[in-house]
Amino acid sequence: MAEKATKYIFVTGGVLSGLGKGITAASIGKVLKARGFKVNLQKCDPYLNVDAGTLNPREHGECFVTKDGAETDLDLGHYERFLDQELTQSSSIMSGRIFTKVIEDERNGMHQGDTIQIIPHVTNAIQDAVQEAGKGYDVHIVEIGGTVGDYESLAFVEAIREFGLRVGRENCAYVHVVYLPYLSVSHETKTKPAQSAVRDLRGLGITPDILVARSERPAPESAKKKLSLFCGVDESAVALLPNAQTIYEVPLTLLQAGIDDAICKKLGITADVAQMGDWESLVSLAKKQHNTKVTVGVVAKYMDNADTYMSVFEALRHAAWHQDSDVEIKWIDAEELGKTGNTAELESVDGIVVPGGFGNRGVEGKIKAAIYALKNKKPYLGLCLGMQVMVIGAARNAGIDDANSTEFSADTKNPVIHTMEDQKGKENTGGTMRLGDYPCKITTGSKSEALYGDSDIVERHRHRYEANNAYREQYESWGIKAVGVSPDGELVEIIEGIDHPFLVASQFHPEFKSRPNRPHPMFNGFIGALVAK
């Protein structure tokens, strides 16, 4: 019997960037999965980088890490949270990776003397990557980064146009996300930018099957009819998507608009009605006015963009909802804290989170926050760098004034954090870190074991520097203890405070595995400690 053909959905964007293509793709995936389809998602980014590992988070937002160690765009975090499934390297493509493969193939003589061109060689490589990632799934959803019309994304748009010829147009659905601005002067929603965006896409050879119209406020139903008429998209395949109170509401909005039915009709697939009862309960939980409210101070160095700590913020919200609490996230400028030493902002919050980061800018402020939490018994959650600065802070608080990491002070006499032995000499290069899933053994009877309900866990990493084992015997005299280590006992993974209401810090990034319907144990414990204060 022939294997059932995978169906493909391509999500593009028009008018401007930042419309929420990633949330739209994730939401479509959620609804189709709820209908019983086996779904996968993939992000195609036009940047010439090979991966997202070296992109500036102040500009591009957080770097999300998959279980197999891929450094990716933050949209993969949305995909995982909405689908509640773990993705892999194949779910992230950047232009640099595609071009590198094409050039390497040419150098190895695989093109047998062909003149290498964008069409067909680059576009074929993109299509190969898409088709490979879609194998074994009923529906494979592909988001194309950027905005249609950008020079750097043209090869991807052309590739997905050609893909309809490769696998059959009946196996492809094209979803275009557009923007409907509201003019307060005339009190009307304008569709002309959306019409122009569809015209741009059609000019590149793709006629959208589905139109998702984003707006900052609810658009009138008449906008649907107008978009249908001028864009050539069936009215039943147009969804009006105003800003939602929570992003997790978007799948329900698409379901209510019948977009899943329109997609199934286009692709010629049938399935049961979407089972979204649990998701509806989650959205109700996210939108309700909760009985308590906690304030969390996030000691941050990347202050320009809320997306820089997307997974951290989402994990805090997940935990708060399930603790029947609202959470207010307060940014604390690590660089400013390091300069002034003023702890007023730390005093004003219920708990402190120190997230990950690289480089020495702002690190002294993070260390001061760690010392403050340790001395004043303020609930503290450290994530990756947040664990390292707690070790440094605990050492300094105990009298080792020059304790530091070799990342920040190469000649420190007390390198309580240092470079992994096999990474020495590679500190400034990309792709040399401990990335992806690694196991951890938790001490029986520790707070962390109680949080997880298990002593054997697997968590995701993204770091190069480690706790220096030469100092581990001193931890307890500093007021901390190592309660989580690698199975061979060589690498510190979790530390806890001694005689502290909640001081837990991990070398890994627990935020990457938090789900809206299943908060991560560390975040759940942290918020629980704040609620109980």
Confirm whether 511 is a catalytic residue.
yes
Catalytically annotated residue among 440, 449, 511, 520: 511
CA atoms within 13 A on the CB side of 411: 0
Helices (H), ranges, 377-520: 385-397, 447-452, 475-478
Catalytic residue among 121, 418, 461, 509: 509
Residue type, 293: K
Strand order in the sheet with 414-419: 403-405, 414-419, 465-467
Strands (E), 259-324: 292-300
509 is catalytic: yes
User: By C-alpha distance, which of 506, 293, 484, 480 is closest to 373?
Assistant: 480
Instruction: Name residue 215's beta-bridge partners.
Output: 242
Cα separation, 312 vs 126, whole angstroms: 32
| 130 Cβ contact list (under 8 Å, min separation 6) | 8, 42, 44, 93, 140, 142, 159, 160, 163
Residue with tokens 């993939």: 42
d(CA 211, CA 259): 9
Question: How far is 304 from 467, CA to CA, in rounded Å?
Answer: 30
Instruction: Residue count of the chain, please give it.
Output: 533
Q: Tell me the backbone φ, ψ of residue 78, rounded to 5 degrees.
A: -60, -45
Distance CA 527, CA 495 (A): 18
Amino acid identity, position 502: F
For residue 309, give both structure tokens: 């700590």
Q: How far apart are CA 182 and CA 242, in angstroms?
A: 11
Q: Which residues, listed in sequence order, are joined to residue 435 by a DSSP beta bridge?
A: 462
Q: For residues 447 and 188, what is the distance between their CA atoms, to the nearest angstrom?
A: 56
Q: Which of 295, 322, 326, 298 is nearest to 310 (CA)?
A: 298
Q: How far apart are CA 35 and CA 138, in angstroms?
A: 11
Burial 472-484 (b: 16+ CB within 10 A, else e): beebeebbbebbb
Q: Which of 364, 384, 463, 496 is catalytic?
A: 384
Q: Which residues are catalytic?
A: 384, 509, 511
